[in-house]
């Protein structure tokens, strides 16, 4: 019998899952179909660098179908909905795809329209986001002619993709305006709904310290209710205001819209409730989830998706063979944090362990939670690994799926391990 495997989403998670599965099964054993609504696979970590002229959108976008191995069918169509009772995907072009096993890899979507005024007057004129190729390119043009004033970086609500990226934007903006010799004319402010610079206590303290060192003002517990692009101000639900001449806003995120149209599949934000250890959905045993689409308590980040890939494919193989799943995904995340001036930090953490100091992947390796040029080079090199190793579904030498703990310095037991807000 040939298993019919349908993978929704041709981004990081969908592509690496398809390629890994193609290697595990012959075409007689499994038919693999990947669905996406467009043919633009964006290397999303690159979006951060576009506004500062350090890369260009055409250098970080490639066709989706070309990242898939031979023997994988690529279908380009928006998804209407999934019928989990009938095991069928309904595409917007009117056709249906029946499946034995479904993988949801449709990621997170920006929902700027949920915030009053955000996409109103001033949007893409003095209110921008760098979370889309169009937004980051428009912001590059706006920054190039910016000659002083108040720049505000605002996270509207959690969760967001790559939760360190807005902080990296602040650090790079500090460097960028310094290079342009107008740093003294620019007031930089980071406005977050969290009660500190970041979610995890040890890293949050370190990052808050770096904001202060770089003279970037930190405004916390700010729940943005309105963005006024005419007056140039953010207004919180509790009535506080932060004025700006240029706003860089990270809009609220949700899961893909079709999830909301699929009975019994997603939660109120259209993310998919998922077993955090096996990556099987709560909705149906034959539906698995990878990457940002999953409602699991770890970061929405490419590194997490990469580490999930290993566990997901093993569990799909177990499931199709009628075997028990392995509850082994540990929530491992690993993020380079660009800090400007050719340096970067590295953080490494999982469900249980917050980011700590030390070295990665073992006592000899990249410094953790500490600025270094080596980490900056690591971040730059990563794009090559992304296209050539991660998407094809090969392992990166020395970097396994589970979080390594050798090389890490434990913190005093008094600090909480899980952030809550």
Where do contacts with another protein occur on this chain (CB under 8 A)?
Answer: 114, 157-159, 163, 194, 199-200, 221, 223, 225, 237-238, 252, 267-269, 297-299, 418-421
For another protein, the closer of residues 83 and 114 by Cβ is 114
For another protein, the closer of residues 49 and 271 by Cβ is 271
Closest CA to 335 of 137, 166, 158: 166
Least distance between another protein and beta carbon 270 (Å): 10
Least distance between another protein and beta carbon 414 (Å): 11
Q: What is the distance between the alpha carbons of residues 9 and 386, in angstroms, rounded to a whole number?
A: 17
For another protein, the closer of residues 26 and 223 by Cβ is 223
Q: What is the distance between the alpha carbons of residues 281 and 290, in angstroms, rounded to a whole number?
A: 10
For another protein, the closer of residues 83 and 267 by Cβ is 267
Residue 59, SS3 per DSSP: helix
Residue 231, SS3 per DSSP: coil
Least distance between another protein and beta carbon 215 (Å): 27
Stretch (H or E) spanning 224: strand 224-228
373-381: long-range contacts at Cβ-Cβ below 8 A with a sequence spacing of 24 or more? 373/342, 373/343, 375/336, 375/343, 375/344, 375/345, 375/346, 376/336, 376/338, 376/342, 376/343, 376/344, 378/336, 378/344, 378/346, 379/45, 379/336, 379/338, 379/344
For another protein, the closer of residues 134 and 418 by Cβ is 418
Least distance between another protein and beta carbon 238 (Å): 6
Least distance between another protein and beta carbon 271 (Å): 10
Does residue 331 contact residue 351 with C-beta atoms inside 8 Å?
A: yes
For another protein, the closer of residues 173 and 301 by Cβ is 301
Helices (H), 338-394: 373-385
For another protein, the closer of residues 298 and 375 by Cβ is 298
* CA distance readout (Å), 170 to 100, 145, 154, 176: 46, 18, 10, 10
Least distance between another protein and beta carbon 114 (Å): 8
Q: Is 335 exposed, middle or buried (0-12, 13-18, 19+ CB in 10 A)?
A: buried
**Cβ-based neighbours of 185, under 8 Å, separated by 6 or more:** 147, 148, 149, 177
For another protein, the closer of residues 163 and 232 by Cβ is 163
Least distance between another protein and beta carbon 328 (Å): 20
Least distance between another protein and beta carbon 275 (Å): 14
Q: What is the distance between the alpha carbons of residues 32 and 29, in angstroms, rounded to a whole number?
A: 10
For another protein, the closer of residues 19 and 353 by Cβ is 353
Q: What is the distance between the alpha carbons of residues 239 and 51, in angstroms, rounded to a whole number?
A: 31
Least distance between another protein and beta carbon 64 (Å): 27
Does residue 156 contact residue 249 with C-beta atoms inside 8 Å?
A: yes
């Amino acid at each position: 019998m040939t298993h019919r495997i349908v993978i929704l989403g041709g981004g990081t998670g969908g592509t690496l899952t398809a390629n890994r599965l193609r290697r595990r099964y012959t075409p007689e054993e499994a038919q693999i179909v990947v669905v996406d609504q467009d043919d633009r696979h964006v290397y999303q970590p690159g979006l951060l660098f576009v506004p500062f002229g350090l890369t260009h959108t055409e250098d970080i976008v490639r066709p989706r179908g070309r990242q898939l191995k031979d023997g994988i069918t690529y279908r380009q169509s928006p998804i209407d909905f999934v019928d989990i009772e009938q095991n069928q995907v309904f595409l917007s072009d009117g056709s249906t795809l029946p499946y034995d096993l479904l993988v949801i890899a449709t990621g997170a979507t920006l929902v700027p329209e949920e915030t009053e005024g955000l996409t109103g007057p001033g949007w893409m004129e003095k209110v921008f986001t760098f979370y889309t190729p169009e937004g980051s390119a428009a912001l590059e043009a706006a920054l190039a002619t910016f000659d002083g004033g108040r720049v505000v970086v605002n996270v509207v609500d959690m969760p967001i993709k790559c939760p360190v990226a807005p902080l990296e934007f602040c650090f790079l903006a500090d460097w960028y305006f310094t290079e342009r010799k107008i740093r003294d004319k620019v007031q930089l402010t980071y406005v977050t709904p969290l009660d500190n610079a970041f979610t995890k206590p040890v890293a949050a303290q370190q990052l808050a310290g770096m904001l202060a060192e770089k003279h970037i003002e930190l405004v916390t517990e700010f729940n943005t209710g309105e963005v006024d692009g005419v007056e140039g101000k953010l207004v919180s639900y509790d009535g506080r205001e932060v004025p700006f001449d240029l706003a860089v806003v990270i809009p609220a995120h949700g899961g893909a819209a079709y999830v909301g149209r699929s009975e019994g599949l997603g939660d109120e934000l259209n993310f998919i409730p998922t077993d955090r250890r096996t990556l099987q959905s709560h909705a149906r045993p034959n539906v698995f989830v990878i990457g940002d689409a999953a409602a699991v308590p770890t970061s929405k980040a490419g590194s997490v998706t990469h580490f999930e890939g290993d566990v997901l494919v093993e569990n799909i193989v177990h499931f199709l063979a009628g075997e028990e799943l392995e509850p082994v995904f540990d929530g491992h995340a690993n993020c380079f944090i660009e800090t400007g001036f050719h340096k970067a930090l590295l953080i490494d953490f999982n469900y249980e362990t917050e980011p700590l100091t030390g070295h990665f992947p073992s006592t000899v390796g990249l410094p953790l939670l500490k600025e270094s040029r080596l980490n900056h080079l690591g971040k730059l090199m990563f794009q090559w690994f992304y296209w050539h190793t991660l998407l094809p579904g090969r392992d990166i030498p020395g970097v396994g799926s589970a979080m390594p703990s050798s090389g890490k310095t434990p913190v005093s037991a008094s600090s909480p391990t899980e952030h809550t807000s």
